[in-house]
Structure 1
Amino acid sequence: MAEVLMSGLVIGESARWRNGRLWCSNWGAQEVLAVDASGKCEVMARVPTTLPFSIDWLPDGRLLVTSGPEGLVLRQEPSGDLVVHADLSVYGGLNEIVVDGRGNIYVNGGCDFHPDEDERPGFIVLITPDGAVRRVADELAFPNGMVITPDNSTLVIAESFAQTLTAYDVSADGSLSSRRVWAPHTGDGMVMDADGAIWTPGWADNGPACLRIAEGGEILETVPLKHAGFACTLGDDGTLYMLTADWHMQESFESNLDRLLSDRTGRILTHKAPTPPAGWP
């Protein structure tokens, strides 16, 4: 059973574990938060965008933020200021970001809630450590959370509208190939554990849940949730952190933002998981 660590978020997203704290985006409030095991919260950055925006870090420790609607990847300098790290606006709106163990930055986008029939506008863009940018995957049905295996050999992405976790081989130069189904399940912000399973928000027979999924699709564990899950991550001690909020697929974020800001149903939940995290993020 999940326990409440913190409430009062608008919509928590992009859950990450770093230096003993849970970090996340607080959509609607334009904040990047860090939360410790007691629920004490600190605002680490204020992001001048609406939503979505997601986070990860460069190898040197500087925070990266996707400024989704603007198509920008921002970088936080030691002063705390956010500057443009990469302008990807030519590709369209952005969503999630993950940085692998070699410093390659993967950013996805093209998230259309109402695509034309049979259209999959989603993509993944690679930013290499030397700053080169290229598109490395296309035709994704609402790309969402991503994880990369500890050996940097495989990237798994949630195609939410295809209800599929999709895997790619990662080459030495960061290119993606050999697209395949990793598991026939939907997903959002997710994390890989030391056994190679993936935790991701999803749906059980009786409602929203956080699922632990093995490659191939077997559900290893289910944590029921009261509200929709947006992201999850694992702490070093094996604690599973889950971000939820009272939002429904038939709603649009933009038209319901006033309600979301007023109600602040976003919560951080915890649950003891069997193994700690592995890979990236």
Structure 2
Amino acid sequence: MTTTRSITRLATGGHYFEAPRWHDGRWWVSDIYAGVLCTYDEEGTRTEVLRVEGNPSGIGWLPDGSMLVVSMHDRRLLRRSPDGEVTVHADLSRVCEHEINDLVVTSDGRAFTGTIGFAVAAGDPPRPGAVFRVDPDGSVHVAAEDVICPNGMVVTGDGSTLLVAESFAGRLTAFTIGADGELTDRRLFAQLAEPPELGPLPEVMAALALIPDGCAIDAEDGLWVADAGHQRVLRFDRTGTLVEEIADPHGNGVYACALGGDDGRSLLICTVPDFFAAATGVDTDKANLELTRVDVPHGTGRP
């Protein structure tokens, strides 16, 4: 199951990378605890695009080319127009108490994002969060409740299914997306073992066989998943069967991934030695962007 693929380092020296995307010939990534959304070219040159005081996370693009970016702490979606103007697209602070995190935008401009549900960086015990839908007009709707730390999100190539990583339940959950954006038919997509009961965070993390974080979907609707608990990325096929594992050669934590490059076969992997050290400011320059090559390219799925 574990494969040996050549892994090269695109860049290092970030604070904590999340939500990588390939767009317009560049890698886009949120350096969360540095408060910066930035791009990297294929030589690893970094360009700062946007400072987000509330800490940036999930990134997506609307049909008109505007970029949405999550502002985690103040629970807002910011909208950066093609000419660089930044406005508030949606304010979720009225519907959730804790940080929002990852983001996926559908082809018709609906955005799905989730609230972690508890103060994860402070080590609080996990509690259920929720997934929200933000329509193109900026209106906010609760799309799914009782989701255990909704994290990475993708939409299948035909636009019919939302897959959500429930980090501290150790599972990937699927929803059918209706024509009106409603989520129905909640079901298990993949899980390596039964999750433990919720309790103290260190105990939950130690007991999980998989801590799914950021995700990327390929042309076969196969899902690459960063496993935040086991220093690896995993690929599940469209049936939810585990088919490949790539371990980080440096033993660092793996927190997000994205497919891109000119042919869509480059897998970008976000790593850092210690999430909690990065989140609390103990380590501020040890995050890395790693690259490997995979067999199935990115397709029409999102992001």
Query: Shared topology, TM-score over 0.5?
Result: yes
Deviation at 1:180, TM superposition (A): 0.8
Which digits, 9 at most, give the CA deviation of each residue in 1:139-160, with x for residues without a partner?
A: 0111100000121100000000
Deviation at 1:203, TM superposition (A): 6.5
Work out which of the residue numbers 223, 234, 255 in structure 1 matches 2:259. 234
**Aligned equivalents of 1:202, 1:116: Cα separation in 2:** 19
**Aligned equivalents of 2:160, 2:8: Cα separation in 1:** 35
Which digits, 9 at most, give the CA deviation of each residue in 1:95-151, with x for residues without a partner?
A: 11110111111111133236668x42x111111223332111000111100000121
**Aligned equivalents of 1:186, 1:137: Cα separation in 2:** 20
| Residues paired across the two proteins, number | 270
Deviation at 1:252, TM superposition (A): 6.7
**Aligned equivalents of 2:234, 2:7: Cα separation in 1:** 13
Give identity over the alignment, percent.
Answer: 33
Gapped runs of 5+ residues in structure 1?
none
Work out which of the residue numbers 15, 21, 24 in structure 2 matches 1:10. 15
**Aligned equivalents of 2:133, 2:124: Cα separation in 1:** 24
Which digits, 9 at most, give the CA deviation of each residue in 1:81-108, with x for residues without a partner?
A: 4221111101223111110111111111
1:183-194 matched pairs, under 5 angstroms: 183-184=190-191, 185-194=210-219
Q: Given residue 134 of structure 1, which amino acid in structure 2 is its aligned partner? A: H
- Conserved 8 A contact 1:104-1:174: yes
Q: Given residue 25 of structure 1, which amino acid in structure 2 is its aligned partner? A: S
Q: Given residue 235 of structure 2, which amino acid in structure 1 is its aligned partner? A: R
Q: What residue is the counterpart of 2:147 in the other structure? A: 140
| Structure 2 residue 186 is matched with structure 1 residue 163 | no
1:93-242 matched pairs, under 5 angstroms: 93-112=99-118, 113=120, 119-120=127-128, 122-184=129-191, 185-202=210-227, 207-225=230-248, 226-236=251-261, 237=263, 238-242=265-269
Gapped runs of 5+ residues in structure 2?
1-5, 192-209
Q: What residue is the counterpart of 1:82 in the other structure? A: 86
**Aligned equivalents of 2:157, 2:257: Cα separation in 1:** 18
Residue aligned with 1:70, SS: coil
**Aligned equivalents of 2:125, 2:13: Cα separation in 1:** 36
Residue aligned with 1:260, SS: coil
Report the aligned-residue RMSD: 1.9
- Conserved 8 A contact 1:58-1:103: yes
Work out which of the residue numbers 33, 36, 44 in structure 2 matches 1:28. 33
Q: Given residue 212 of structure 1, which amino acid in structure 2 is its aligned partner? A: R
Deviation at 1:218, TM superposition (A): 2.6
Deviation at 1:19, TM superposition (A): 1.1
